[in-house]
Structure 1
Amino acid sequence: MFLPAQPIVDAINACPDLHYLTLTGNTLGVAAAQAIAKALEHHPEFKVARFSDMFTGRMKTEIPPALSALGDGMISAGARLSVLDLSDNAFGPIGVEGLVKLLQSDVCDQLQELRLNNNGLGITGARLLAKALSTNPRKLKVFIAGRNRLENEGSTALAKVFQQMGTLEEVAMPQNGIYHIGISALSEAFKLNPNLSCLNLNDNTIGAKGAQAIADALPRLKNLKSINFGDCLLKSKGARALAKGFKMNSTLLESLDLSHNEIGREAVMELIEAITPSKDSTDRLARVVLAGNSLGGAANKKTMRDRLGSCAELSDGDDSDDAADSGEDDEEDESDENSEDSATEDAQHSTLDSSIADIVKDITLDTSGVEEVETDVGRFLQEPTVANLDRLGSNAAEVIDAHLQSIREPSELIQAYVEATFSVAGLRGILAQQMFPRLMARAGEQHAAAWLLANCMLRALGLIKSESKDYKIRWLLPGCFIALADVINEPFFPAALRDTLKFFISSKLPTLPPDTRDVVEKHKMLYM
């Protein structure tokens, strides 16, 4: 639903007692967010912010300043949120930048629910989020962060924050690429959250080691009623560990999903016995999902159903119920304790890479007659000095432009133009004024260029960290900011890019190197 901001602003202004606002399904730019934020300044009673999926079609780099503006509006109002839902906004790590001030403010003193599902946070975003939440520890009851590729590092960072909270009742972190290391860190945190009642770690690699860590935490989680560990590669060893944990816990589980975990039938029976210690257990259990495991034939499933009752979901359908019961155990070979969760995806890929390397190691290429050609432009881009720039002559901008147009891949092309522009800008501002229009024109010719351009410029200016360890700023930043100040308000400069750069420059100003900060402070158009 694409709506202009004014009707929303009017509705907010007309509401005498605003407790709940949902902006889901809209597309908010920076200006619209600022207008809505201004209206929110008059509502200290505001408590529930449903802001999921509200940046449809917007550049990722527009989101941080928009979020920051909305946060500033709530801060000015003195609001006290109980619910903040920003799910399905794929803003990535830089989006967290726009949330930090809000999360650390008094607005979130009484925050009970934080929903960040499907935001593309990654490890970096998780670390930023953990830092923001730990600066002024919160007492959350609900934390949702599925589909964010948090991995071991991100989940471990958040686990430290969970330990400080001690109030969590629901945690959902499915599909995050977490292995047993991250699961173990989370399990330690869960021990300090005794009111935890709902836990969803679906589609992570818990494995036997992670299952044991969770089992060790179960005796302290007497309120745990719902568990979803589907698609977590538990196997029989992990299932047995959980079964022992359930027995020790005497938990009052109502829902358990362990589907598609390669669990053998004997281990499945141990699980069933653990969660049904008495005849009235079936009255308590509402749903037990064991589909996709090695359950055996019809006779075995009948035994399982008799024990579980109507809550049992033992297969994807009933077509397998009539299969012959061979009487043989479908357990997997568990002699290799590290088979299911010790090797990360990277390790598996490295094994494949090693195999390929063995095949090609004896191949020798004939390089006779081939010489490496180094151009003046290439030399300058690798080592941006005045001497190397002078070698390009009086029409250096045209020479560099012609050199870079041979690059076909859009992201590489835009990155190359950004780096070339700042290499020039760090040395000669006048020449940079010729480079910036070319940069905007070339970027505008590429698909999804707006986000790529903003990301490359923020990284080149040292305002966000590069995901590549090999990335190096070779240009002189003070000169780059001076040159940027000369062009940032020019008509050819995209307004959304201008707003994004100003937001990040303003927020990062105190942490810039002293010589760069001095330059920026003299050019207020860069951050005001």
Structure 2
Amino acid sequence: MSSFDLNSINTALNDTGRASSGVDFSGKSLKLDTEADAKPIVDAINQCSDLQFLTLTGNTLGVAAAQAIAKALEKHPELKICRWSDMFTGRMKSEIPPALKALGDGMIAAGARLAVLDLSDNAFGPIGVEGLAKLLQSEACSQLQELRLNNNGLGITGGKLLAKALSANPIKLKVFIAGRNRLENDGAIALAKVFQQMGTLEEIAMPQNGIYHPGVTALAASFRHNPQLACLNLNDNTIGPKGAAALATDIPQLKNLRSINFGDCLLKSKGAIALAKAFKDNAMQIESLDLSHNEIGREACMELVDSITVLPDSGDRLTRVVLAGNSLGGAANKKTMRDKLGGCAELSDGEGSDDDYETDSDDEEEDDDEETDDDEKSDGEASEDSATEDAQHTLIDNKFAESLDTSDVEEVATDVGRFLSNPTVENLKVLGPNAAEVIDTHLQSIKDPESQIVAYVEATMSAAGLSPACAACGDIARDMYRGLLAAAQRHHAAAWMLANAMLRALTLIKSENKSYQIRWHLPGCYAVLGEVISQPYFPAALRDTLQFFIRSKLPSLPEETRQVVAKCPHLTTTRT
């Protein structure tokens, strides 16, 4: 017979985050493009009299479907939990901001007060945060307790935008999850300032973000302002000895800290010893500790074990201690560690194996006075493979510049190159009456798909910018739009590349490439776009994305450009 557990029942009854009523469409792999596609979800929402939660994980939403769902949400102020991870598979990154904004507007209109918002595993990058910004700054998130943004490809720019949104209307979060986002030092430092304002965090998880000791030091300083912090995960960042020293100074003030994961952080022996001293001197009540794969020497590992087992209750308190992948010494050492740690010890990578990381000489500790190359590496020295998404755009722009010099048609390359570098009416006329075809032929010689799309966009903008001064140039630009869209269709997953390139060229998002230059006249570009955007051949998703950003950024555009937009209603409103 099962036992009667009064404490468990009381916990369940007092758990205000526990939602008993709602709509769950998780894992159905639905592809929702249109309002009609979204009807099953809309009907379920409308039929739910007490919509405490809405789970859409594992489906894929387009803008129109999101707008339909958002309309249904306007009738549900009771909504508390939104679990929307893995919700945009196969979508252009540029589709996601308007979809997120629509969903957010629906909840804002309803007067909802969210407690949990999970958007993990949606690779929307920095521009996705723009779609979230209004929601995060609204009253709908004023009572938000959990924000989960794991694996969103935010990059440094996205981290800064997120910090800005969160600081505009300070939220008292309890849980913040943002792993695998390449936030790096700048993103971490920006978020550390927000954490300091919050003061309510109980769990922070930021693994795999390329953070080095400057970012770790900023985070450590922010932790002390969150006295209820119980769970801390910085796995697979480069904390190093310097970062460990900062953490050792600040985390002892966290009397509720129970779980620490600093695995794979290049602590070295010096960093491990600093943490061990902090644990021991402050009698920290650690229950779970992961310091695996940190190149920690034998003696330092023993100091760690001693530091967390010095209190008499350690046998009952410790649940998991992971030191696998470090230099633990011989069998006698491991036996001593296991005797002290008991069943919570995880000293080997393989179950039942003692194949730990060993140095060439276990009797010699590594020289911890020398920082690792990784620890000293600046943000600007990241390799192309590990670069942030924004940095990769810079690399792509540079590749494009190089690719213009490698055309199979020498004479055409010279003429087109002259026009692209100096887009004047005279240089465009040199290309003759079939200028659009000449430019298209030249650009097809670029092999890298993303570089080619960037080149097509910039060439099209260069011609369109001349349209106010030359009607024939406007005709060429309109023809080039067809070539641009055809080029995008030739490449797999090129839709988001095209959207990003156009948003940059129209100054609707900022380029991280400091050498990126706007060589075209923007009012002319907007005028031509206003003519082609409503044409049947223009992709609906790209149109929706451009309209969303133009509406959002309109107040910040130059006066002349705003006047053009005012005369082109299709730039902000979809044709019915």
Please name the residue that 1:361 is paired with: none
Please name the residue that 1:148 is paired with: 181
- 2:108 corresponds to which of 68, 71, 75: 75
Please name the residue that 2:30 is paired with: 2
Superposed CA offset, 1:335-367 (max 9, x none):
3245561224754869xxxxxxxxxxxxxxxxx
Could you tell me which runs of 5 or more consecutive residues in structure 1 were left unpaired when the two chains were aligned.
Answer: 351-371
Q: Residue 319 of structure 1 aligns to which amino acid in structure 2?
A: S
Q: Distance in 2 between matches of 1:403 and 1:290?
A: 58
Please name the residue that 1:360 is paired with: none
* Aligned positions, number: 507
Q: Map 1:220-235 onto structure 2 (within 5 A).
A: 220-235=253-268
Please name the residue that 1:421 is paired with: 460
Please name the residue that 1:523 is paired with: 568
Asked if the contact 1:298/1:323 (under 8 Å) is kept, the reply is no
- 1:403 corresponds to which of 442, 445, 449: 442
Q: Secondary structure at the match of 1:199?
A: strand
Please name the residue that 2:23 is paired with: none
Between 508-517 and 24-33, report the one with greater CA deviation.
Answer: 508-517
Q: Note closer, same or farther for the CA distance 1:195–1:60 as it changes in structure 2 (3 Å cut).
A: same
Between 484-493 and 326-335, report the one with greater CA deviation.
Answer: 326-335
Asked if the contact 2:347/2:354 (under 8 Å) is kept, the reply is no
Q: Distance in 2 between matches of 1:499 and 1:202?
A: 39
Residue 341 of structure 1 pairs with residue 369 of structure 2: no
Q: Note closer, same or farther for the CA distance 1:41–1:347 as it changes in structure 2 (3 Å cut).
A: closer
Q: Secondary structure at the match of 1:84?
A: strand
Residue 315 of structure 1 pairs with residue 360 of structure 2: no
Q: Map 1:147-186 onto structure 2 (within 5 A).
A: 147-186=180-219
Shift of 1:219: 2.3
Please name the residue that 1:103 is paired with: 136
Asked if the contact 2:527/2:568 (under 8 Å) is kept, the reply is yes
Q: Distance in 2 between matches of 1:132 and 1:330?
A: 50
Q: Residue 363 of structure 2 aligns to which amino acid in structure 1?
A: D
Please name the residue that 1:60 is paired with: 93
Asked if the contact 1:294/1:331 (under 8 Å) is kept, the reply is no
User: How does the TM-score come out when normalised to structure 1?
Assistant: 0.93
Q: Residue 131 of structure 2 aligns to which amino acid in structure 1?
A: G
Please name the residue that 2:528 is paired with: 483
Shift of 1:329: 2.7
Q: Note closer, same or farther for the CA distance 1:108–1:323 as it changes in structure 2 (3 Å cut).
A: closer
Please name the residue that 1:437 is paired with: 482
How well do the aligned residues superpose, as a CA RMSD in angstroms?
2.1
Q: Residue 287 of structure 2 aligns to which amino acid in structure 1?
A: E
Q: Distance in 2 between matches of 1:326 and 1:22?
A: 52
Q: Secondary structure at the match of 2:68?
A: helix
Asked if the contact 2:328/2:356 (under 8 Å) is kept, the reply is no
Between 162-171 and 449-458, report the one with greater CA deviation.
Answer: 449-458
Q: Note closer, same or farther for the CA distance 1:5–1:297 as it changes in structure 2 (3 Å cut).
A: same
Residue 471 of structure 1 pairs with residue 516 of structure 2: yes
Asked if the contact 1:298/1:322 (under 8 Å) is kept, the reply is no
Q: Distance in 2 between matches of 1:316 and 1:409?
A: 41
Shift of 1:124: 0.4
Q: Residue 428 of structure 2 aligns to which amino acid in structure 1?
A: L
Q: Secondary structure at the match of 2:214?
A: helix
Q: Map 1:186-205 onto structure 2 (within 5 A).
A: 186-205=219-238
Q: Residue 116 of structure 2 aligns to which amino acid in structure 1?
A: V
Q: Distance in 2 between matches of 1:56 and 1:348?
A: 28
Between 257-266 and 509-518, report the one with greater CA deviation.
Answer: 509-518
- 2:124 corresponds to which of 68, 76, 91: 91
Q: Note closer, same or farther for the CA distance 1:306–1:408 as it changes in structure 2 (3 Å cut).
A: same
Between 404-413 and 322-331, report the one with greater CA deviation.
Answer: 322-331
Q: Map 1:369-384 onto structure 2 (within 5 A).
A: 375-384=414-423
Shift of 1:62: 0.8
Please name the residue that 2:334 is paired with: 301
Q: Secondary structure at the match of 2:375?
A: coil
Could you tell me which runs of 5 or more consecutive residues in structure 2 were left unpaired when the two chains were aligned.
Answer: 1-28, 32-36, 385-409, 468-473
User: How does the TM-score come out when normalised to structure 2?
Assistant: 0.85
Q: Map 1:10-29 onto structure 2 (within 5 A).
A: 10-29=43-62
Superposed CA offset, 1:422-466 (max 9, x none):
101011223322111121112211222211111111111111112
Between 83-92 and 242-251, report the one with greater CA deviation.
Answer: 242-251
Between 223-232 and 272-281, report the one with greater CA deviation.
Answer: 272-281
Please name the residue that 1:356 is paired with: none
Please name the residue that 1:363 is paired with: none
Q: Distance in 2 between matches of 1:113 and 1:421?
A: 44
Asked if the contact 2:149/2:177 (under 8 Å) is kept, the reply is yes
Q: Distance in 2 between matches of 1:466 and 1:228?
A: 35
Residue 504 of structure 1 pairs with residue 549 of structure 2: yes
Q: Distance in 1 between matches of 2:373 and 2:181?
A: 25
Q: Distance in 2 between matches of 1:342 and 1:324?
A: 25
Q: Distance in 2 between matches of 1:6 and 1:260?
A: 50
Q: Note closer, same or farther for the CA distance 1:325–1:128 as it changes in structure 2 (3 Å cut).
A: closer
Please name the residue that 1:357 is paired with: none
Please name the residue that 1:213 is paired with: 246
What percentage of aligned pairs have identical amino acids? 71
Q: Distance in 1 between matches of 2:178 and 2:202?
A: 14
Q: Note closer, same or farther for the CA distance 1:212–1:322 as it changes in structure 2 (3 Å cut).
A: closer
Asked if the contact 1:297/1:326 (under 8 Å) is kept, the reply is no
Q: Distance in 2 between matches of 1:524 and 1:381?
A: 29
Q: Note closer, same or farther for the CA distance 1:324–1:168 as it changes in structure 2 (3 Å cut).
A: closer
Asked if the contact 1:208/1:340 (under 8 Å) is kept, the reply is no
Q: Residue 521 of structure 2 aligns to which amino acid in structure 1?
A: L
Please name the residue that 1:358 is paired with: none
Q: Secondary structure at the match of 1:114?
A: strand
